[in-house]
Structure formats: C-alpha cells, structure tokens
Structure 1
Amino acid sequence: MKIIDIVQELEAKAPPMYQESYDNSGLLTGSYDWDCSGVLCTLDVTEAVMEEALSRNVNLIVAHHPLIFKGLKRLTGANYVERLLIKAIENKLAIYAIHTNLDNVIEGVNATIANKLGLVERSVLDPKPNTVRKLSVYVPQTHVGAVQDALFAAGAGSIGNYTECSFFAAGSGTFKAGQGAQPYVGSVGSRHVEAEVKLETVYEVGNERSVLAALKISHPYEEIAYDLYQLENAYSKIGSGIVGKLPKPVNSADFLQVLKNQFGLSLIRHTQLLPGTVQKVAVCGGAGSFLINKALAVKADVFVTADLKYHEFFEADGRMLLCDIGHFESEQFTRDWLTDVLQQKFPNFAVLKSVQNTNPVYYYF
C-alpha cells in the first residue's frame, strides 16, 4: 500500500479543487510514493496525535484541519506548528489534510452533523458556482447509445434529482484521413461524410477525468471531436452547509436538548427561543457565520454552527434559532467519517481512529 492509494480514495470523495482559495489541503509532509504502514485519522494534528501515530506504528496522519495554514518562512521550532513539522520530518511521518473540500461535498463534514440530527430531504445550503461543465461531442449515429451509457456510468448527466440527462441533434460530419491514420469509417486521402449526432451532457468538474476516460473508451473514432464548456451554474451537491428537515416538528427547547445529547455538549450559545415548533434546520461545521443570511433566505427555523461573534447573533433577527455549539464539537465526528471511508475501501489495512481529544477549548463551571 502506497500513500498515494489512500490519498486517491479520499480525493475521489472530496476533490481538492473544491477547497476554498485560502485553504491548504493536500499532502503537507512526506511523499506520495512512500509505502504506507497504516493511517491515523484525526481532526487536528497535535503532539499527542503524532506520538499516538508513532506508538501505533503508522506513518500517515489524515487530518481535517491543515497543520500548515499560514505561510512559513523558517523551521526553527519557535511555535507548535514548526515543532510538529520538524518532528514529522525527523520521524518520516506523512501528514495529509482534507479540509474545506470535505466541507463542500454534501456527504462530507456537514453530513455527519445532519446524520446526528436525523435530518431528511437534505440539500446544499449555498451551492458553489463554477463546479459544472458541459461536454459536447460528435458521435456516429450507430454509437450514440453506447457513448451515452458510458458517460452516464461515469457520473455525467446528473441534474438535481434527475440522472442520464443529455441532449442530441442529428447532422453530418466531414473529415479526410491523412497518411498514418486508421479511420473507423472512410478512406485515407478521401473526404468522408458521416451521419453523426452532436451529444451534450453535463458533469461535476471533480469527475472530469472519469468522464473523459469513459468517452475515449466508448467512442469508435481514432480522433474524437469534443468541446468542454465551463458553466456558471451551481451544482446542487457541492457547496457550503446543508439544510434539511427534522422527521417531525419539535419545540425549540426540545431541539436544544437533542442537540446537547447528540453532540455531548456541556453548553450551547444560542439566540432567544422561538415560539411554536421548529423543523427546518441548516447546519455548517466550523465557523459558519457567513451562511446566516443563506439560512434565513431558505427560511430555516434553526441554524447550527460555531465560532459566532456577539454581533452576529443579532442577525437572526428573531426569525431563526441560531446555535453555536463550538468548533471542535461541530466537527468532532469528521474523524469517524475519515475512518469509515478508508476502512470500507481497505478493510484489511491498518486504518485507525485517533483516541486523542484535540479540542483546545475548555469550559469552567
């Protein structure tokens, strides 16, 4: 097992291109070519986590939060980041971070929160633009069905709750094969006219490699004429936060009790309780104040997130129950997600969940 094998599985679930511009996800130390002795999944990289990795004989730490986030100009051990990086290099420990790209997929970080609350009818709260592309390809009429099937199997053609979406129009294509060509139809040196179909479909940008591979395998031509278009459309399964519904309405106080129990909370910072019942719930792991207006726009009754400032609580404006459960607390089940995904793919490999509580915040009562 190589480190690249682990990375490829994670990036198939949360492609690196979905991380935010300020982020630093990816392999931070080590090499993709290293043999992997095992994986330790954690939320944060701390000295205790690093010691645990060494004691459990694994050489890859997969963390949600990147150890290197800001720019580094030296490695002198002057702070905890520099000390941990020096220790990782000395002990040949690879560190991989999967941060906002995992935040931005519907089955990622926010799904772990939604699962704990039992939310149904889920959708992305703030879909990310420029995550959809359109493929336009010319196919001989005899092979339209085969090419469609291959593209759909590779994940193309999904729009909301619909799959196998495409458009095609019949026409005629011309080409003249040159010396050395091996044309599927026609003859070298002669112009050929072929009955063709212009086939168009859309795909998630993170799935482009698989879609193009399927096209090349299924298309009969030696040289395939196709175009790729970047669309401004947002993709419904990529973006920030999740909104869904509780199976049945509850009053605000009961919801807070469920939240407290499911996340093992000692306290919840929240706005004034709403009269009546709540059912529509928006969630965002980590710092989610940037989504308050989005949650209001979809008429969420509750928004669960973390790291809210004093003045941001006013933005709920009596229309929504705003809950701050803490950064670590909101993302604590991410290490379970990482462990489960890798154990399912590599059931006979050492994929371990860290036993360390990396929360740097303590509460005094």
Structure 2
Amino acid sequence: MHIAAIIAHLEAIAPPSLQEGYDNAGLLTGDAGWECTGALCTLDATEEVVQEAIARKCNLIVAHHPIVFGGLKKINGKNYVEKAVIAAIKNDIAIYAIHTNLDHVMAGVNGKMADRLGLVKRSILAPKASTLKKLFTFVPLAQAEQVRAAIFAAGAGHIGQYNECSFGVEGTGTFKGGEGTNPFVGQPGERHEEKELKLEVIFPAHLQAAVVRALIAAHPYEEVAYDVVDLANTHPGIGAGLLGELPDLMEENALLALIKKQFGLTVIRHTPLLDKPVRKVALCGGAGSFLVPRALAAGADMYITADMKYHEFFDANGRMVIADIGHFESEQFTADLLVTVLQEKFTTFAVLKSEVKTNPVHYFV
C-alpha cells in the first residue's frame, strides 16, 4: 500500500479543487510514493501527534487542519508549526491535510455534526459556485449509447438526486478527412455527411479530465469534436455549511442540552433564546460567522457553529438562536470520519485514530 493510493481515495471523496483559495490542503510533508506503514487520523498534526505516529508505527498522518498555512521562511523550531514539520521530516512522516475541501462536501465535517443531532432533510447551506461544467459532443447515432454510458460511468449526468441525466438532439454532421486519416465512416478526401446525436451532459468541474478521457475512449471517431463550458449554476451537493431538520420539534433549551451532551461540552455561548420550538437547524464546523446571513435567509431556528465574535452575535437580530460550541468541539468527530472512510476502503490496512487531544482551548469550570 502506497501513500498515493490513500490520497487518491481521500481526494475522490473531497477533491482538492473544492478547497478555499486561502487553504493549504494536500500532502505537506513526505512522498506519495512511500509504502505506507499505517495511517493516523487527527484534527491537528502537532508535534505530539507526530511523536504518536512514530510510536504507533504510522508514517502517514491524515489531518483536517493543515499544519502549514503560509510559507515558512525559517524552520528552526521556534513555534509549534516548525517543531511539527521538523519532527515529521526527520522521521519520514508524511502529513496530508484535508481541510475546506472536506468542509464543502455533504458527507464531510458538517455531515458528521448533523449525524450527532439526527438531522434529516439535509441540504448545503451555501452552495459553491463555479463547480459545474457542461460537455457538448457529437456522436454517430449507432454509437450514442456507448458514449453516453461511458461518460455517465465517469461521473457525468448527476443533477441533485437524479443521475444519468443528459439531453440529445439529432442532426447532420459533416467532415472531410485529410491525407493519412482513417475515418470511422466515409473516405479520406471526400466530404461525408453523418446522422449524429448532439449530446449534452453536466458534470462536476473536478471530474473534467476523467469525463473527457471516457468520452475519447468510447467515441468511434479519430478526432472527437467536443466543447466544455463553465456553468454559473451552483452544485447542490457542494458548498459551505449544512441545513437540516430535527425529526420532531424541540424546545430551545432541550436542543441546547442535546448539543451539550452529543458534543461533550462544558459550556455553550449563545444569543438570547426566543421561546419558540426549533425545527430547522443550520450548522458549520469551525469558524462560521460568514454564514449567519445564509442561515437567516434559509429560515433556520438555530445556527450551530464556532469562533463567533462579540458583535457578530447581534447579527442573529432576534430571528434565530446562534450557538457557539467551540472550534475544536464542532470538528472533533472529523478524525472518526476519516478513520471510517479509510477503513471502509482499505479493510486490511492499519488506520488509527489519534489519542492526542489537540484542543488548545481549556475551560475553568
């Protein structure tokens, strides 16, 4: 088992192209070509976690937060970032981060939070733009189905809860093969007319290379005519935050008590309660103040997130309850998610959860 195989699986679930521009997800130290002795999953790849990986004979750490966000001008161990990087490099430990790209998929960080509360009827709170493309191609009628099946298998044609979605219209294509060509139909040097299907299909932008490869492999022509265009449409399954519903109405105090229990909290910072039952719940793991307007617009009764500043609590404007449960606390189950994702794929491979609690925030109770 090489590290590259593990990375490929993680990136199929949360493609790196979905990360925010400020982020630094990906392989931060080590070599994807190394044979992997074991994977240790964690929220933060601190020096203590690196030492744990060494002790537990894992040469790969899969972390949610990138230990390196910006460039390092010096690496002399003066802070926790440099210490972790030095320890990883000296001991041949690869560190792979899967951060905002994992935040932006339905079954990622926010999906794990929603699982803890049993939310149903889930949807993305702020769908991400520029994540969809459309393929246009032209295929002889007799081969249209084989091409359609190939690009569907590559991941094209999904719209919401529907798959194998496409549109086709019949027309006549013309071409004339030049010297040295071997056309599928017609003769070189003669213009040929062929009844063709113009085929249109939507696909996630990160799958473009795979979809085009599948198209060319299945298409009978020597030169395949196709167009790929960017769409302004948002992808309903990709974006920030999550909106869901409780199976039954719940009083605000009862929901806060459930959150406290399910996330193992000692305290919850929240806006004034509104004395009304809660049905719709919005949430965002980590710093989520930027989604307060989205949660309000979606009609959420309560918004669960972290890292809210004092003045940002006023943005609830008496229309919903904002509950700040803490950054680590909101994302603490991400390591469990990573363990599950890897164990389901690599059933005979050592995938471990870190026993180090990396939360730098403590509470005096």
Q: Structure 2 length as normaliser, TM-score?
A: 0.98
2:288 aligned with 1:288, yes or no?
Answer: yes
Deviations 1:164-184 (A, max 9, x none): 222222111111223333321
1:194-205 pair list within 5 angstroms: 194-205=194-205
Please give the alpha-carbon distance, in whole angstroms, between the structure 2 residues aligned to 1:56 and 1:178.
63
Which residue number corresponds to residue 274 of structure 1? 274
Letter in 2 for 1:277: P
Shift of 1:274: 2.0
1:125-140 pair list within 5 angstroms: 125-140=125-140
**Unmatched runs of 5 consecutive residues or more in structure 1:** none
Which residue number corresponds to residue 25 of structure 1? 25
Q: Is the deviation greater in 78-87 or in 10-19?
A: 78-87
Which residue number corresponds to residue 249 of structure 2? 249
Shift of 1:325: 0.4
1:1-365 pair list within 5 angstroms: 1-365=1-365
Deviations 1:247-286 (A, max 9, x none): 0110000000110111111111111112221010001000
Please give the alpha-carbon distance, in whole angstroms, between the structure 2 residues aligned to 1:181 and 1:33.
40
Shift of 1:151: 2.0
Deviations 1:281-304 (A, max 9, x none): 001000000000000000000100
Letter in 1 for 2:58: V
Please give the alpha-carbon distance, in whole angstroms, between the structure 1 residues aligned to 2:257 and 2:190.
77
Please give the alpha-carbon distance, in whole angstroms, between the structure 2 residues aligned to 1:106 and 1:37.
30
**Unmatched runs of 5 consecutive residues or more in structure 2:** none
Give SS of 2:137's match: strand
Aligned residue-pair number: 365
Letter in 2 for 1:85: V
Please give the alpha-carbon distance, in whole angstroms, between the structure 1 residues aligned to 2:274 and 2:352.
42
Shift of 1:71: 2.1
Shift of 1:155: 2.1
Please give the alpha-carbon distance, in whole angstroms, between the structure 2 residues aligned to 1:43 and 1:180.
58
Please give the alpha-carbon distance, in whole angstroms, between the structure 2 residues aligned to 1:160 and 1:91.
45
Shift of 1:233: 1.1
Q: Is the deviation greater in 151-160 or in 350-359?
A: 151-160
Give SS of 1:43's match: strand
Q: Following TM superposition, where does structure 1 have runs of at least 4 consecutive aligned residues deviating by more than 3 angstroms? A: none
Give SS of 1:64's match: strand
Share of identical aligned residues, percent?
56
Q: Is the deviation greater in 174-183 or in 289-298?
A: 174-183
Letter in 1 for 2:342: L
Shift of 1:159: 1.8
Shift of 1:150: 2.1
The CA RMSD measured in Å over matched residues stands at 1.1
Please give the alpha-carbon distance, in whole angstroms, between the structure 1 residues aligned to 2:246 and 2:224.
49
Please give the alpha-carbon distance, in whole angstroms, between the structure 1 residues aligned to 2:357 and 2:180.
64
Q: Is the deviation greater in 324-333 or in 218-227?
A: 218-227
Letter in 1 for 2:141: Q
Letter in 1 for 2:168: F
Please give the alpha-carbon distance, in whole angstroms, between the structure 2 residues aligned to 1:102 and 1:212.
25
Letter in 2 for 1:132: L
Letter in 1 for 2:355: V
Deviations 1:37-60 (A, max 9, x none): 111000001122111100111111
Please give the alpha-carbon distance, in whole angstroms, between the structure 2 residues aligned to 1:315 and 1:248.
27
Please give the alpha-carbon distance, in whole angstroms, between the structure 2 residues aligned to 1:345 and 1:213.
25
Shift of 1:364: 0.1
Q: Structure 1 length as normaliser, TM-score?
A: 0.98
